[in-house]
Each structure stands twice: as C-alpha cells, then as structure tokens.
Amino acid sequence: MAVPGETYYYREVIECARAAAQGLGARLTLGVSAYAEERPQVERLLSDGVEGLLLTPSPHTPWAPPRLRRGSGLPVPVVLMERRPEPVADLEHLDRVASDHARGTVRALRYLVGLGHRRIGLLACATATGPWIDRGFDTAADILSLPADAPRVTDVASLDVAAVEAFLDAAVATGTTAVVAHPDDQGALLVHRARMRGLVVPDDLAVIAYDDELASLAEIPLSAVAPMRYAVGRIAVTRLVQRLREGNGHGWSTSRADPPRRPGPSPAGSTARVTDCRNRDAGER
C-alpha cells in the first residue's frame, strides 16, 4: 500500500485497509511518499515481493506514470485509491475506489438550502479533494439555481487569517448566510473570526465543514460532511484480494464511497464520530 501520508486523511484509510486485509488472510505493507514522487516507494514494495498494490499517487505527480499505463507490464494487480484519473491518462484498465466528494458537496448545499439559505459561499484550501468539492459546488449551484455573487475561494492557504477576514468581508457585503468550508480546521477558524466580528453562528452565518477530523472540537461544534475513508480502505483491499484470487480475466471496476453529512442540532453543531471498519457499506458503480 503506497499513500502520500499516514496521518490525518489517510490514517483511517490505512487502519481499515489493515483490518480488512487481516480478515481476508492477507498482510498489508505500507509505503509513504510524503507527497513526493511515489516511484521509489512503489519500487521498494515490488522488490519486497508484494503480490498486489494499493496506490494513491501524490496530487503533484503527473498522471499516467509509465509503469501504470496499459500494456506496461506491471507485475502485480493495482487498485487506485482516492484518485479519479482523467480519460487521457490511459488508466481505465485499473480498478479504483474513491470518495465521491462532488456528491458530498451537493448534499451539504441541499441541506443548507433546505434550511432556507440561498447565498452560500465556499472557502476551501488547495487540496487533492478541492477540485471535486468545487465541481460539486458548481453542480449544486446549477441544480438549485443559487445566486452567483456569494464569495467562493478554492485556493486559500491553510489557516490564513487575512484570507479568512477577506472572505468574511465579501460574505457580509453580499448577504451570504451560509458557507461550506474545507477542511474542517478552516471552518473552525472561519467560525472564530466571524464571532470576533460579532456575527452569531449559525444565526447570521451557518457553517458546514467538508471533513470531519476536528469539526466537533471547534468553539461551536460544526456539522460536517465526512468522507468515508474507512469504506475506501476496506473496499480497495477486498477488490485487490479478489483480483489476486480470480486473476485478471475480468473487467475493471470503479467503487464510489458517498460521504454522509454528520448532523448536529444546527449547521454549527456536530455529533462525535466513532470509526468501525467492519460492517459499513459504500455505493458501487
């Protein structure tokens, strides 16, 4: 298993992949690229004799590394995790399992619209998840006919106070009443700075976080869309073991994990999350 990191987002993926592997009589070996070129980690795992590979390329790696392309002769089956390569990458022959972040974002906006919000902003850091959140926001705004003048920032630096203040200026100027913030620590900072201005959360500004690592620890606990990382790890391992047992004589598949919203008493209140790697399902397509 080669992933960009072993903490934060991928910690839960790794934990549940390990549990699934043990349940299937397999052993998981981990390689961490630290968001650099993952080829050395992949080569090391292959030289160690792994029989299959779970791979999450770094978002900074150009798509279609030569060894993954069709006909490249990679010696073991590969399942991509949390990556959705574009068709030009020529990776359609590989199995993949990924969270449907776009759908999760649509769910967040539908929830906010159901509460009566129309001007909904987006404050997101530049992450590998960000483009899918942005795409989901586009889809929801079109379906729900939302006004286009709410502030929308998708490349803010993590915990940049000046950028958050500028975003709040735009939100107040446009009458924006709700925000989707990614990741959740960015949402917590947004709530803090909004309250410093005298805004009442969620009455004046409702905030939903996209990610659920720290949402419940914010000064006003946040509702959050929680990517189903446990499902990604479990389904990816199950699929890879199936490949190893059945061979490569059947077609590839794509599995999608739809993130649920972790509800609380308001758009700024959240229940705690407990990870259970055993009996959780995700939609497949």
Classify residue 182: in a domain, yes or no: yes
Total number of domains in the chain: 2
Q: Exposed (0-12), middle (13-18) or buried (19+): which is 10, by Cβ within 10 Å?
A: buried
Lowest mean pLDDT among 129-138, 239-248, 260-269, 270-279: 270-279
Classify residue 274: in a domain, yes or no: no
Classify residue 266: in a domain, yes or no: no
Residue 218 token pair: 């914010």
Lowest mean pLDDT among 26-40, 59-73, 107-121: 59-73
Q: Are residues 66 and 142 in the same domain?
A: no
Q: Are residues 94 and 105 in the same domain?
A: no
Rounded distance, CA 98 to CA 84, Å?
7
Query: Greater confidence, 118 or 268?
Result: 118
Classify residue 187: in a domain, yes or no: yes
Q: Which of 172, 233, 256, 181 is nearest to 212 (CA)?
A: 181
What integer best gives the mean pLDDT of the chain?
A: 84
Distances (CA, A) of 197 to 52, 177, 194: 53, 15, 5
Classify residue 272: in a domain, yes or no: no
185: CATH:
3.40.50.2300
- Are 63 and 91 in contact by the 8 Å Cβ rule? The answer is yes
- Mean pLDDT for the stretch of residues 10-26: 95
- Are 102 and 136 in contact by the 8 Å Cβ rule? The answer is yes
For the segment 146-194, what is each residue's pLDDT rounded down to a tens digit? 999 999 999 999 999 999 999 999 999 999 999 999 999 999 999 999 9
Q: Are residues 191 and 109 in the same domain?
A: yes
Look up residue 239 and give its amino acid: R
pLDDT of residue 267: 59
Classify residue 64: in a domain, yes or no: yes
Q: Where among 201, 225, 249 does a domain terminate?
A: 225
Q: Are residues 105 and 221 in the same domain?
A: yes
Q: Which of 258, 247, 271 is nearest to 102 (CA)?
A: 258
Q: Are residues 18 and 85 in the same domain?
A: yes
Q: Are residues 112 and 87 in the same domain?
A: no
Q: Are residues 12 and 67 in the same domain?
A: yes
Peptide bond into 202 cis (omega under 30): yes
Q: Where among 205, 225, 245 does a domain terminate?
A: 225
Q: Are residues 23 and 66 in the same domain?
A: yes
Q: Are residues 43 and 138 in the same domain?
A: no
Classify residue 42: in a domain, yes or no: yes
- Mean pLDDT for the stretch of residues 268-282: 41
pLDDT at 251 over 70: no
Is the pTM higher than 0.95?
no
pLDDT of residue 285: 30
For the segment 195-243, what is each residue's pLDDT rounded down to a tens digit? 999 999 999 999 999 999 889 999 999 999 999 899 999 999 999 999 9
280, 247, 245, 75: CA torsion to nearest 10: -90
Q: Where are the alpha helices (DSSP H) in the chain?
A: 9-23, 39-47, 101-114, 130-143, 161-174, 184-196, 229-246
Mark 96-110 as b/e (b = at least 16 C-beta within 10 Å).
bbbbbbbbbbbbbbe
pLDDT of residue 83: 84
DSSP 44: H
* Three-state DSSP class for residue 262: strand
What spatial distance separates the first Cα and last Cα of the chain, rounded to whole Å? 23
- Mean pLDDT for the stretch of residues 247-269: 56
CB atoms within 10 A of CB 204: 14
The residue range of the domain holding 22 is 2-100+228-259
284 pLDDT band (50/70/90 cuts)?
very low
Rounded distance, CA 236 to CA 255, Å?
8
Classify residue 270: in a domain, yes or no: no
Q: Are residues 6 and 66 in the same domain?
A: yes
Q: Which of 190, 236, 230 is nearest to 210 (CA)?
A: 190
Q: Are residues 67 and 116 in the same domain?
A: no
pLDDT at 96 over 60: yes
Q: Are residues 119 and 213 in the same domain?
A: yes
